[in-house]
Amino acid sequence: MILTRPTAPIADQKPGTSGLRKKTRVFMTPGYLENFVQSIWNAIGGVAGKTLVLGGDGRFFNDRAAQTILKMASASGASRVIVGQDALLSTPAASHLIRSRGADGGLILSASHNPGGETEDFGLKYNAANGGPAAESITAKIHSESEALREYLILDAPDCDLAALGEQRMGDMVIEVVDPVADYQALMENLFDFNAIRDLIAAGFQLRFDAMHAITGPYARAILETTLGAAPGSVVNAVPLPDFGGHHPDPNPVWAHDLMTAMFAPDAPDFGAASDGDGDRNMIVGRGLYVTPSDSLAVLAANAHLAPGYAQGLKGVARSMPTSAAVDRVAAARGLDCYATPTGWKFFGNLLDARRASLCGEESAGTGSDHVREKDGLWAVLLWLNILAVRQQSVAQIMAQHWAEFGRNYYSRHDYEAIDTAAATALMDDLRARLPDLPGTEVAGLRITEAQDFAYTDPIDRSVTTAQGLQITFVGGARLVLRLSGTGTEGATLRVYLERFEDAADRLALDPQAALAPVIAAAESLAGIAARTGRSKPDVIT
Ligand code: VG1
Ligand code: CO
């Protein structure tokens, strides 16, 4: 029986950088999830007759939320929902399923790198028929629908069995439960030279992949261990847990410190990697060397043609604005178009669809290509492995050669988490107001060439997105970016992105924080971060 339940608008359902993220208990409040899901249906013109994909990263409430969404899809007339077994799907696997099955869209249950559990975070994101995160125009529509919502529809029916592969019915709707890994693995086998990687591993190459108790565990085990022959146990923290073992599933040197310890030990493996909660991010570590995501993007751009799926060369590259310009240097050398977009994968969708860019990346450890419309953690790991197998060099040798050829963009991000929202907003507003006066002035010994509040005009649909971060550029290419996070669930998070270019042969192996010291000093002097946030140092440095 279809129930029409009266409801009232909930004020805080505005999607951020990547869907709606809130404390899990907020999402569990009766009606909260239902309101948001009905707002999505309303914003996309309903789901009658449509096929959707559904899955999530396995965090607490993933299973319950999936049942609610299925009942709401059925009540609103969806014809089919393709669900990963046990309601699990990595974000890139969901993107692939939407595309390969010609679905009308999909819902991904995840708060990605945010911690999980009943007292931590939950999230929900809508992806469109191209497999990519809904564009700003759609997320804005979802928000406005949520502000006017009066009722939602839900089927009064028992839960379905999401452990059983195959088809079942819920009302008039077909639920098709699929193996979350199989289609994704087949896609990877199409793109990469699995034989070359298998030979590399058989010859003694050792790797360690840290799944951080999140969704990539089953994918990495199937692909890296079972198919490519990595020793059993090469994938660690491989079992997805509802609270990710109490950790932040955020692949950076701070949260993946176990991996860092292993990779800097005397008996370190040749290659280390980690992924995040929903499997769309990657962290790459060589023996004794952390590769920043911005550098990783540049290396992949320079070497992608070594993998069969990219042998024809890239169509162009794109990075988020705060990501370092290392990839720009590769693009310039190879004659590729290079785009700078606002933070968040949704801004790459049009460039990928229009074939203007085929490799994209973000400084936050997201890299991906036109094979799906999301960033893809395991894909980046496999592309690195394919490159290592062809070049027969260590990660450190590849990085040294890359910097010798293109120069090095020293890079770091300093995060101030859960700070007072009013203080964070005031910091940004005050600096924004001073931007016009900054060019030509000097701060901490650096001369400012440009200062702007980043705005982006999409080259395909001409949509304009403003206020995407304050960008201050210095003589010599050093750069400072400040923006507020759009994925947090507590107070505000200030992100300070720092970059400085060096190409002198004897200055390519400096300590990044030391190399960036003048830019760090400039940030403090321009924004008064310590005084305004009450923090003497960043909470997280990556
Ligand atoms: C962060 C990252 C951004 C990324 C987003 C979603 O956003 O900085 O690059 O696209 O998370 O990634 P913010 O607004 O907090 O800076 V994920 O892996 O959380 O879906
Ligand atoms: Co993620």
Q: Helices (DSSP H) in 126-277: which residue ranges?
A: 136-146, 182-191, 194-202, 216-220, 257-263
Q: Of the candidates 308, 341, 346, which has an alpha carbon nearest to the alpha carbon of residue 327?
A: 341
pLDDT in tens, 292-338: 999 999 999 999 999 999 999 999 999 999 999 999 999 999 999 99
Q: Is 112 a catalytic residue?
A: yes
Q: Is the dihedral of CA 437, 440, 442, 446 positive or negative?
A: positive
Question: Cβ(214)–Cβ(114) under 8 Å?
Answer: no
Q: For residue 435, what is the DSSP state?
A: G
Closest ligand 1 atom to 483 CA = 16
22 CB within 6 A, ligand 1:
no
Closest-lying ligand 1 atom to the alpha carbon of residue 110:
20
Could you give the angle at the alpha carbon of 304 between the alpha carbons of 301 and 309, nearest 5°? 140
Instruction: Give the start-to-end residue ranges of the domains of the chain.
Output: 2-180, 184-406, 408-541
Return the CATH fold of 2-180: Alpha-D-Glucose-1,6-Bisphosphate; Chain A, domain 3 (3.40.120)
Q: What share of the chain is helix, strand, coil (3-state, %, to 5)?
A: 35, 25, 40
Q: Which ligand is nearest to the CA of 121?
A: 1
Do 2-180 and 184-406 share a fold?
yes
**Average model confidence (pLDDT) across the chain:** 97
Q: Is the CB of 92 under 6 A from ligand 1?
A: no
- d(CA 119, ligand 2 centre) in Å: 19
pTM of the model: 0.95
Note the pLDDT tens digit of each residue in 378-412.
Answer: 999 999 999 999 999 999 999 999 999 999 999 99
d(CA 37, ligand 2 centre) in Å: 20
Q: How many CB atoms lie within 10 A of CB 438?
A: 19
Amino acid found at 243: D
pLDDT at 206: 98
Report the C-alpha gap between 385 and 243 in whole angstroms.
30
Q: What CATH class is the domain 408-541?
A: alpha beta
For the segment 494-511, what is each residue's pLDDT rounded down to a tens digit? Answer: 999 999 999 999 999 899
Single-letter code of the amino acid located at 267 = D
Looking at the DSSP bridge assignments, the partners of residue 151 are 6
Could you report the per-residue pLDDT of 531-541, keeping only the tens digit for each? Answer: 999 999 999 99
Kind plus residue range of the DSSP H or E element containing 26? helix 24-28
Ligand nearest to the CA of 57: 2
CATH 3.40.120.10 fits 184-406, yes or no: yes
The answer, yes or no, to whether any atom of ligand 1 lies below 6 A from the CB of 96, is: no
- The yes-or-no verdict on residue 488 having pLDDT over 90 is no
